Amino acid sequence: MSEKRSTLVKSPDSHPTGAKVISIDSMRRMRRLQNQAPSDDEYAYQARILGMDKLALLEEMVRFQQERSERGDLTPEMMSRGRYLFKALEEKAETEELRLLARSYRRHLDHELNEHRRAQAGLAPASD
**Residue ranges of domains in the chain:** 39-120
| Residue 96 pLDDT | 96
Encode pLDDT of 41-76 as tens digits.
888 899 999 999 989 999 999 999 999 999 988 888
Identify the band that residue 2 occupies on the pLDDT scale cut at 50, 70 and 90: very low
| Higher per-residue confidence, 99 vs 120 | 99
Is the pLDDT confidence value at 6 over 50?
A: no
Phi-psi map region of 112: left, alpha, beta (phi>0 left; psi -120 to 50 alpha): alpha
> How far is residue 92's CA from residue 108's CA, in Å, rounded to a whole number?
19
Note whether 89 and 61 are within 8 A (CB).
Answer: yes
| Residue 108 pLDDT | 93
| Residue 7 pLDDT | 46
Note whether 98 and 86 are within 8 A (CB).
Answer: no
Encode pLDDT of 22-39 as tens digits.
666 655 665 655 555 567
Rg (CA), the chain: 19
